[in-house]
Amino acid sequence: MPKKKSPEKNRPDPSAVEGLEAVVREQPITETLETNYMPYAMSVIVSRAIPEIDGFKPSHRKLLYTMYKMGLLNGPRTKSANIVGQTMRLNPHGDSAIYDTLVRLSRGNGALLHPFIDSKGNFGKVYSRDMAYAASRYTEAKLDKICSEIFGDIDYDTVDFQDNYDNTMREPVLLPTAFPNILVSVNQGIAVGMACQICSFNLGEVCQTAIALIQNPEHDLFTTLTAPDFSTGGELVYNRSALEKIYNTGRGSFQLRARWRYVESLNLIEVFEIPYNTTIEAIMDETAKLIKAGKLKEISDMRDETDLNGLKLTIELKRGTNPDSLMQKLMKSTSLVKYYPCNFNLLISGIPRQMGVREILEEWTAWRTECVKRRIYHELTQKRSKLHLLKGLESILLDIDKAIRIIRNTERESEVIPNLMIGFGIDEAQAEYIAEIKLRNINREFILKRIEEIASLEKDIEDRERTLGSRRLLLGVIVSELREIAKKYALPRRTAIVYESDIAREPEEEIPDYPVHIFLSKEGYFKKITPLSLRMGGAQKYKPGDGPQWETEAFNSSEFLVFSDKGRSYPSRVSDFPDMKASVLGEYLPARLGMDEGENIVALCMCGDYTGNIVIAFENGKAVKVPLLSYMTKTNRRKLTGAYNTSSPVVGIIQLGADAPLAFFSTDGRALIVDSALIPLKTTRTSQGVAVMRLKPKHSLKSVMLLENSGITNKSRYTVKSVPAAGSLLKPEDLQEKQINIEGF
């Protein structure tokens, strides 16, 4: 047997405990959030996930600036691995993250309407989930031509620079984009407590809108900026009110649809453009599930035929299939139609702000005006400096020989500049310039040519001074630049615009309506049986240990709600289930509804016309009454989260057409009869409700049901006129077998 350790050996060393007390310190959660979490959150918001007014996140900016410094704007392509390695001097987050950024900005990936990187090799595709891009050692890249509009002003002191992470390099705080790139390039990011999702617009329309707003601040955006535009094409369903909300507030959503064509000779459909925020694999997976579920019997085969010519999803049809009707079904049930959510969050002077399109363009115009002003001031400074030097050169024109004599007769090199300054009355910079002229250029012709530049320099200086002093002229420079950019780079819209009135609607499929009986077993097996089959069939079949739990009469067109113990509800239709016989087990409802493992059914309610209420009772003795209308959905949602409050386990859900008395039973053998009118109606589904039954310690509410189904005979003993109440102990004559029907479990 192992030797038992003595208590002394297990006792910690007092000196060690004293040292530990010095390290471990209690810290209030508020202090932890302030000192540890908030700096991290602000770092993610400001330095990683949210773009700034130039339209770039820091990762984009560092990559593009590195490529610019590598001479890749006009030079040949280089290996992507080389670019990634050089970028790590500015971006220390690892080569994988840098290459992911490069891929997304590339022409080959197709994520942007106007890519910033001219790529060669396999860069994957934005519309494919499984098409992986090649490793950085195989691909090549350089800056695209449009980057000349980003870096054209960067050497003219148009933007501020800052040190990189190890203070060995300088990098720009912003890039001086000459067009509103923030609206031209798609941008998505998730920060801490906020996110950003900016859709892309057509470059030509954005430039035209920016010009129109400069000329008229009250300009109607919709006359020039029709709608968003995406690199994957597709169709945008035009909804003026939805777009107005996005343009005004920066939040909202709009619908994107795929584009397709029918090849009659081959009896197949080709989908060649899909919504930007989905993939071809997702569409195929969703379609395959519908085929397996028996909801799409018109399709004989489906395959991805995407090649170098672009995306193509081919759907082969069975003979006699109507392609329009089939596509309407697919549009309704798959990602061939998607809503694109917008959340225009961006950083303005380091502060996150949510802005509409008009506000973004106004902010960009103000920022670009400052860039142009700094560029012109930089040019003005250079021209003034050059003019000053030429003025000094002009002073020696009348006596070149004197300048030569001064230089020749000066014994020390350090005295040349002072002697020239004394001899001609010029300053040090002018004397330095004259002294540096080559011997071959010390002739009258060279000096006269240089002096002829004085007049043009003076005119240029005057023009720039006038421009700097006039906001109208500064804005005129921006307008002319925007017109030139639109002329050089604008492309036709890729995303077509369709109107809701022009979209062919699938006629509502007629659901045969006939009476049925619905059965649900304790383990969750569901049956739909016609009255004729029920009369002709034998006894109901159940698994060993299973048995009847709930049954009702309904119609095939009826809708019902299934509530689970995870606080979710699942809207369904009776017609979605096939007719069955009593001799079969039925369909396992949790699997059919897509419930999670371990998720169980607690109630089933027939919706009817969504009138009436439901009462939800919890183990802690509380209950809440919620209108059934709160669970009605306008879309074809298959799962509704937040169906009820989950702070305490649910013990029963009862459907009521009108207020009625309810019987509550606790685990300590007590009962309470309460009229449902005493339970206040709550419009919020997740309300905790009110206390109905006062419970003793270690006891809880066990069940709830309609009084008429409770088996209680001595009703006055248990009835109360106000809640909460403790209830009374059940007498033997009231302990009859409880029946459960449509109103509750």
3 state DSSP class of 511: coil
Element (H, E) at 728: strand 728-729
CATH class of the domain at 50-177: alpha beta
Phi-psi region of 138 (alpha: psi -120 to 50; beta: other; left: phi over 0): alpha
Class of domain 259-335: alpha beta
- Count CB neighbours of 264 within 10 A: 8
CATH number of this structure's domain 515-734 = 2.120.10.90
pLDDT of the residue at 634: 64
Give SS3 for 532. Answer: helix
Detail the DSSP E strand segments found in 173-330. Answer: 187-190, 195-198, 235-238, 251-257, 259-263, 268-273, 299-304, 313-317
Torsion angle of the four alpha carbons 265, 267, 272, 278, in this order, in degrees rounded to the nearest 10:
180
Torsion angle of the four alpha carbons 632, 635, 638, 639, in this order, in degrees rounded to the nearest 10: -60
The H-assigned helical ranges of 580-737 are: 589-592, 715-718
pLDDT for res 7? 47
Which of 115, 175, 169 is closest to 151 using CA atoms? 175
674 in Cβ contact with 720 (< 8 Å):
yes
Question: Which parts of the chain register pLDDT below 50?
Answer: 1-9, 17, 20, 738-745
CA dihedral in degrees (236, 237, 239, 243; nearest 10)?
-20
Helices (H), strands (E): how many in the chain?
Answer: 22, 32
DSSP for 135-171, please give it.
Answer: PTTT-EEEE-GGGHHHHTTGGGT-S-EEE-TTSSSEE
- Find out whether 174 and 52 touch, Cβ atoms under 8 Å: yes
Q: Do the beta carbons of residue 556 and residue 566 sit within 8 Å? A: no
* Catalytic annotation present for 644: no
pLDDT value of position 578: 85
Specify the pairing of strand 496-499 against strand 235-238: parallel
Containing 573, the helix (H) or strand (E) segment is strand 569-573
Distances (CA, A) of 187 to 112, 345, 616: 9, 10, 44
Cβ–Cβ < 8 Å for 115, 177:
no
* Alpha-carbon span 58 to 172, nearest angstrom: 10
* Type of residue found at 386: K
- How far is 372 from 130, CA to CA, in rounded Å? 44
- Measured CA to CA in angstroms, residue 433 lies from 137, 393, 446, 567, 725 at distances of 49, 8, 14, 83, 101
Residue in 691, 692, 559 with CA at minimum distance from that of residue 637:
559
Residue 303 pairs in a beta bridge with 314
pLDDT in tens, 616-649: 999 999 999 999 888 887 666 678 888 899 899 9
The CATH code belonging to domain 362-489 is 1.10.268.10
Q: How many CB atoms lie within 10 A of CB 346?
A: 23
710 is written with which tokens? 């409770």
Question: pLDDT (tens digit, 9 = 90+) per residue, 532-551?
Answer: 888 877 778 888 888 888 88
Share of the chain above pLDDT 70, in %: 94
Which residues are paired to 496 by β-bridges? 235
- Residue 578's Cβ-count burial label (10 Å; 0-12, 13-18, 19+) is exposed
Rounded to an integer, what distance in angstroms lies between the CA atom of residue 154 and that of residue 145? 16
Give phi and psi for 691, each to the nearest 5: -70, 130
And the tokens for 206? 């954005």
pLDDT at 23: 63
Q: According to the model, what pLDDT value does residue 736 have?
A: 52
CB 330 within 8 A of CB 323: no
d(CA 440, CA 428): 23
Q: Choose the catalytic residue: 65, 68, 127, 138.
A: 138
pLDDT at 394: 83
For residue 147, how far is the Cα from the chain centroid? 26
Question: What single-letter DSSP state applies at residue 709?
Answer: G
Beta strands in 590-715 (DSSP E): 601-606, 613-618, 622-627, 650-656, 661-666, 670-675, 690-691, 701-706
- Domain chopping of the chain, boundaries: 13-38, 50-177, 259-335, 362-489, 515-734
Q: Phi, psi (5° rounding) for residue 197? A: -145, 100
